Structure 1
Amino acid sequence: MKKWTTILTAGTLAFVLSACGQTAEPKEDPMTGKKEEVVVKSDLTAGEVMEKASAAAETQQSMHSDMDIMQTLEMGDEKKEMNSTIEMDMILEPLAIRQTMNMQANGEEIAIEQYMTQEGFFMKNPESGSWIKLPNEMYKEVTGQTAGMTESPVDFTMYEEYAEDFTFEETDDEYVLTLIGSGEKFSELMKEMLDQNMPAEADEAKLDNVDMKVEKIDLQFTIDKKTFFTKDFDMDMIMAMEEQGQQVKVTQNIKGTMTKINEIDEIKVPKEILDSAKEMD
């Protein structure tokens, strides 16, 4: 999650600043087409806002996030849909997470609730409702992977050529960055993003055998004018892939909001869970 947050707040916004010298235009109301009145217009350029947003992301130590994910996979005549909602509290150091997730797929619904703190990794069995304590090694493994993600520098120079494709708008309280694109140019971007975000143990060479085409990519980020924290994001994507003659079309929409930034001081596993959870080998 931290890596995803970093991409959204620091990485995705850390484009080449020299390519983003324009100041913001008043945001246009999508319903009326009229531009909003901005009482105090910012004289910051898009590049300066991105730089400040990147610096603000480095100060994030805790947050609450809500995400809605809708995904459709099409393979020939087969079509699968999956919708998920995720609610999460997170503290970075030491890593602590409280998360609830509801998934709907092929007419079935699954609810998952879990805690991950120094007290252990606990998950609620979606069928029985009882709590399970996973092995301590799993907590160490996840925290180790997360630490590597957050401490290792991520190369976002791949966004350089896309900086000028963003539009830059503002309201009285927010900056809005929007990217709308399609075609081969963004297919290469998507493949680079997948390369960077693949797990370390995954075979990166497999991507070289995938013919990928981005039919649509729409991104929008909203940044708070006072704190420069990223408040929310909206991503629409339609991507077609082909590997060894097998074609897959992926349609995905992800919406997320980040609140209570640096306001969560503690995440504790409830005592009733600590007392009742059964250890899993």
Structure 2
Amino acid sequence: MKKLLMAMAAGTLTLGLAACNETAEPTEGTSEEKQSDLTAEEVYEKALTASQEMKSAEAKVEMDQKISIPSQEVEMNTNTNMDMEMTLDPMALHQKGTMAMSAAGGEEMSMEIEVYMTEDGTMYMLDPQGEQWIKMTGAVPGLDQLTQNQPDPSEQLEQLQEYAQDMKFEQNENEYILKLTADGEKFNELIKQTLQEQLPPEALEQMGEEEQKALENMNINELQYEMYVDKETFNMTVMNMVMSMTMEEQGETLNIDIDSNTAYENINGIEKIEVPQEVIDSAVELPQQ
């Protein structure tokens, strides 16, 4: 998981290296004494080092997702707001928030979500209907393989550099800002390759023929990133992403639009994530499959 987060940060920053020798353009209101002469490449290298040294963080995630099947006039909207604490090595987390879902012409359904995952992979999840804690041992199949198979950031650097189409490198008083609009067509091959490399082998083996065809017929139509990097620590403080993609399955076209905003804070400030004793005592364990 740590490699995944590092690779995501590295990959996004790497996309901007087309302008690697440029310094950041000051945004309106940035004072002269706060302006930096670092180039995009220098910011990238320092941010990559900071991401490699990240051991824990808090994150606030807001995501809107729309899935539609035009031929059937089906549309499903999902809005997620989540607060998360996580340690990365070993991986453990606590996340709490809400998920609201609505279909075209239907009522909105909202549910509370709270999850703990311990260092040994045990998961405690609150049932939003019965308010009963559920314990799942080994609830994340393939987690070890998924963690081990994440691409190395240096490999991401080599793979993604040629995919930059347009990028802005800016700065305000306290942060560097990298804005990228990527050519979705150029990204398709890379995204498919990355998914195939990162999915656990057993997941690929269990995929049916239709699912494999859907993966092959996936197209990224639009991909935008906006990243903020702290000028002093070079930690990533904000990552915003807009992605539009289509998938072809069983003769149907499936459109997926995602707009996500993630803010990071308290980086390396969490020593350990503890599951409350009352959660442990009251949890009902699900039988292993």
- Look up the match of 1:276: 282
- Look up the match of 1:104: 100
Structure 1 residues 85, 149: closer, same or farther in 2, change over 3 A?
farther
Report if the CA contact (8 A) 1:17-1:48 is conserved.
Answer: no
Measure the CA separation in 2 of the matches of 1:147 and 1:216.
Answer: 28
- Look up the match of 2:54: 60
SS in 1 for 2:43: helix
Give the TM-score, by structure 1 length.
Answer: 0.85
- Look up the match of 2:33: 39
SS in 2 for 1:269: coil
Q: Does 1:71 align with 2:59?
A: no
- Look up the match of 1:202: 203
Amino acid corresponding to residue 153 of structure 1 in structure 2: D
Measure the CA separation in 1 of the matches of 2:181 and 2:198.
Answer: 22
| Deviation at residue 52 of structure 1 after TM alignment | 0.8
Structure 1 residues 196, 84: closer, same or farther in 2, change over 3 A?
farther
Aligned residue runs from structure 1 range 186-265, under 5 A: 186-203=187-204, 206=212, 210-265=216-271
Unaligned runs of 5+ in 1: 28-33
| Deviation at residue 279 of structure 1 after TM alignment | 2.1
* Structure 1 residues 86-119: Cα deviation after superposition (integer angstroms, max 9, x where no partner): 2111112332211114211122112221112247
Measure the CA separation in 1 of the matches of 2:119 and 2:218.
Answer: 41
| Deviation at residue 143 of structure 1 after TM alignment | 5.4
| Deviation at residue 10 of structure 1 after TM alignment | 2.7
Measure the CA separation in 2 of the matches of 1:202 and 1:143.
Answer: 11
| Deviation at residue 227 of structure 1 after TM alignment | 0.6
Report if the CA contact (8 A) 1:84-1:101 is conserved.
Answer: yes
Measure the CA separation in 2 of the matches of 1:248 and 1:99.
Answer: 29
Measure the CA separation in 1 of the matches of 2:213 and 2:49.
Answer: 32
SS in 2 for 1:39: helix
Amino acid corresponding to residue 127 of structure 1 in structure 2: Q
Structure 1 residues 149, 191: closer, same or farther in 2, change over 3 A?
closer
Measure the CA separation in 2 of the matches of 1:110 and 1:199.
Answer: 30
Give the TM-score, by structure 2 length.
Answer: 0.83
SS in 1 for 2:272: coil
Bigger Cα displacement from structure 2, 223-232 vs 79-88? 79-88
* Structure 1 residues 96-146: Cα deviation after superposition (integer angstroms, max 9, x where no partner): 2111142111221122211122474211111110112222x337x565246
SS in 2 for 1:21: coil
Measure the CA separation in 1 of the matches of 2:119 and 2:236.
Answer: 28
Report if the CA contact (8 A) 1:73-1:81 is conserved.
Answer: yes
Amino acid corresponding to residue 131 of structure 1 in structure 2: W
Measure the CA separation in 2 of the matches of 1:191 and 1:212.
Answer: 8
Q: Does 1:153 align with 2:152?
A: yes
Measure the CA separation in 2 of the matches of 1:209 and 1:266.
Answer: 38
Report if the CA contact (8 A) 1:123-1:133 is conserved.
Answer: yes
Aligned residue runs from structure 1 range 104-183, under 5 A: 104-106=100-102, 107-118=108-119, 120-135=122-137, 137-138=138-139, 141=141, 144-145=144-145, 147-149=147-149, 153=152, 155-156=155-156, 157-163=158-164, 165-183=166-184
SS in 2 for 1:53: helix
Identity %: 33
Measure the CA separation in 1 of the matches of 2:190 and 2:215.
Answer: 16
Moved over 6 A (4+): none
Structure 1 residues 272, 217: closer, same or farther in 2, change over 3 A?
same
Amino acid corresponding to residue 217 of structure 1 in structure 2: L
Bigger Cα displacement from structure 2, 119-128 vs 255-264? 119-128
Bigger Cα displacement from structure 2, 114-123 vs 268-277? 114-123
Structure 1 residues 109, 116: closer, same or farther in 2, change over 3 A?
same
Unaligned runs of 5+ in 2: 103-107
Measure the CA separation in 2 of the matches of 1:44 and 1:95.
Answer: 33
Structure 1 residues 232, 59: closer, same or farther in 2, change over 3 A?
same
Amino acid corresponding to residue 96 of structure 1 in structure 2: A
